[in-house]
Structure 1
Amino acid sequence: MIDYEALMAREFPVVEHHYSEKDTILYALGLGLGTDPLSPSHLRATYERAEGFGALPAMVNVLAYPGFWAMEPDTGLEWQKILHGEQSLTLHAPLPARGTLVGKVRITGIVDKGAEKGALIYSERDMHDKATGKRIATVASTTFARGDGGFGGSDDAVRPVHTMPEGDPDTAFEFKTPVGAALIYRLSGDMNPLHADPEVARGAGFERPILHGLCSLGVASWSITEALAGGDFTALTHLQLRFSAPVYPGETIRTEMWRDGADISFRARVLERDVVVLNNGLAHLRGPRFD
């Protein structure tokens, strides 16, 4: 069972993460970029000599992270029932294509939803460039601990999600994920067998291995800059969303967008099943098109 005071005070190790252009390219390939090897947009993320080559902003999600810490016995969490509920990222400076980031996680809130309703755990990770000390990014997550409600409650409140606009989206972008995407994406750090082992996936109630939620997020973030920023993925400075359903590798993700100046409301659905998989999304773009 959760010990509220102990979990809020939990001390996480400082993680130093060195990555190279090869890792940057591998991350982009894991999203499915490179399926059109003649496209300048694909090459900017997958070929180190391409004009404008750089790291996709959403790559910060897989850098300087301490791993699946909920599995550690002293957390008191029933980790087998944990789901990834929400994710956000904020870029304070462009992510270099190679370098060393230093990151540290902290718990920022825990909400007891009740004995049969689980708990919400809010966490945040700040990352700095080791060489310069510059603050690069802040990543925040909401973990839904389905088996850990009823620990005694707290004063923490459920944090609101972004409200989606009414009416049809202003634009949309479709991207078909490769059938082997999860097997590549997992090499960027998330080795959970749920995304590779058919038996594990069936045991969890899925017909086959599912795509990582953060992979779907990466596809949506790239789709937004493709549709609205002329392919300049460095225009993305903030993104937040709620995970609402899994994606199977090989499915087509349609990212639907509503523009309000530099702020972009968005959601993503899988066309083959007409299911919304990412919802309550908000992105912020910078540059001449948005200033």
Structure 2
Amino acid sequence: MPIDRAMVDGLSLTDQPVHQTAAASILYALGTGFGRDPLDGRERRFVHERDLVALPTLAAQLTFAGHVLLERIGADMRLVVHAGQGVALHRPLPPEGHLLFDTIVTGIIDKGAGRGALVLLETHLRERTGGGLLAVATSTAFARGDGGCGSAGRDRAPPLFPAPPARPPDHVDIFHTRPDQALLFRLSGDMNPLHADPEAARAAGFDRPILHGLCTYGICGRAVLASVLDFDATRLRALHVRFAHPVFPGETIMTEMWVEEGRVLLRAHVRERAVAVISGGYALI
């Protein structure tokens, strides 16, 4: 049964609690590649409880609940993959504390029968005490089995990404993912068997388990922090990316970055297969 577009209007999750702990902040940082050099003090502050700093991209993981709304509108969850992710920071994230978030489906973009549909979601993360807004996360899910359902909602077009300039990148970050990268990252909350169970991965059309899109997102955020911002998390105001192909754990992600006034344009590919994994993206700094 395809997505029921009539379910979109007014569908939301409200006042969803998040009890963030220092250990969870550290686990997320480890899962996105921080701390591999435990003697580097710039990275250690993300993975050690003394003077702990939360990563800006953690906001995307803390608000991970879109699958609940996708299930409610009838998406075939076996064939859903992450197509895009963005986070806009309004203030630094606390490494621990009690938070709340609200998520809504803002639109469905029907690509046609047999071609799937894009489902757009928006989440507001705020402090539980005082209600101060911390971040707004946007996510695009590609429901590969639900084409022909019809478009709906306020958003009828996918997010746009500026093209990189026609010159060599200013920075290239090379990151070797671990064979067990997905097994480590899933402990931050996304337990989808697509990322751990070979049979589930084959049923979804992949030869083996794939890396979480949010992990690739976090690794690209790490590339910007490491290459452009000297690991100063307070300088990353937003990060938006469009996913093109999945990463298989153990592959090498190469992130190319072009620095402009107030922003960094980026794209990424896996070296082993020479395929794009991030076809477009930008960070606001």
TM-score past 0.5 threshold: yes
- Residue 71 of structure 1, CA deviation: 6.0
* Residue in structure 1 matched with residue 32 of structure 2 by the alignment: 31
Identity over the aligned pairs, expressed in percent?
42
Deviates more, 1:218-227 or 1:198-207: 198-207
The Cα shift of 1:45 comes to 1.0
2:77 to 63, 73, 79: 79
Tell me if structure 2 keeps the 8 A contact 1:29–1:46.
Answer: yes
Task: Give the letter aligned to residue 26 of structure 2.
Answer: I
Which residue of 1 is the match for residue 272 of structure 2?
A: 272
CA change 1:148–1:206 in 2 (3 A) is closer
Instruction: Look up the match of 2:44.
Output: 43
Structure 1, residues 164-214: CA drift from partner, whole Å, max 9, x if none? 222321111112122222111101100011111222223333332211111
1:152 and 1:36 map into 2 onto residues whose CA distance is 49
* Range that drifts further, 153-162 or 263-272: 153-162
One of 131, 138, 141 as aligned partner of 1:140: 138
Return the letter of the residue paired with 1:144. F
Looking at structure 1, the residues matched to 220 and 244 of structure 2 have their Cα atoms a distance apart, in angstroms, of 14
Corresponding residue for residue 158 of structure 2: 159
Larger deviation, residues 227-236 vs 159-168? 159-168
Per-residue Cα deviation, 1:196-245 (whole angstroms, up to 9, x for no partner): 12222233333322111110110110110111111212211111111111
Q: For residues 187-202 of structure 1, what are the structure 2 equivalents within 5 Å?
A: 187-202=187-202
Residue 117 of structure 1: how far off its partner (Å): 2.0
CA contact (8 A) 1:63 1:101 kept: no
Q: Structure 1 residues 36 and 162, CA, compared in 2 at 3 Å: closer, same or farther? A: same
Secondary structure of 2:148's counterpart equals: coil
SS in structure 2 at match of 1:26? helix
Contact 1:70–1:79 (8 Å) recurs in 2: no
Deviations 1:238-263 (A, max 9, x none): 11111111112222211110111121
Q: Relative to structure 1, is the Cα distance of residues 122 and 169 closer, same or farther in structure 2, using a 3 angstrom cutoff?
A: same
Matched residues in 2 for 1:149 and 1:204: separation? Answer: 16
Whichever residue aligns with residue 134 of structure 1, its letter is G
Distance in 2, matches of 1:20 and 1:222, equals 21
Q: Paired residue for 1:98?
A: 96
TM-score, length of structure 1 as denominator length: 0.90
SS of equivalent to 1:214: helix
- 1:181 matched to 2:189? The reply is no
Q: Which residue number corresponds to residue 19 of structure 1?
A: 20
Against the structure 1 CA distance between its residues 42 and 251, is the aligned structure 2 distance closer, same or farther, given a 3 Å change threshold? Answer: farther
Worse-superposed segment, 74-83 or 19-28? 74-83
Whether the aligned pair in 1 keeps the contact of 2:256 and 2:268 (CA below 8 Å) is yes
Which residue of 1 is the match for residue 86 of structure 2? 88
Tell me the equivalent position of 1:10. Answer: 11
Number of residue pairs aligned between Structure 1 and Structure 2 = 282
TM-score, normalised relative to structure 2? 0.92
| Corresponding residue for residue 55 of structure 1 | 54
> Is it true that 1:112 corresponds to 2:110 in the alignment?
yes
Amino acid at match of 2:99: L
2:177 alignment partner AA: T
Structure 2 residue ranges without an equivalent (≥5): none
Give the direction of change, closer, same or farther, for the CA distance of 1:270–1:153 in structure 2 (3 Å limit).
closer
* Aligned counterparts of 2:90 and 2:5: Cα–Cα separation in 1: 31
Deviation per CA, 1:138-184: give whole Å up to 9, x if none: 00011112222223445853234212222321111112122222111
Structure 1 position 79, deviation (Å)? 2.0
Q: 1:203 to 1:190 in 2, by over 3 A?
A: same
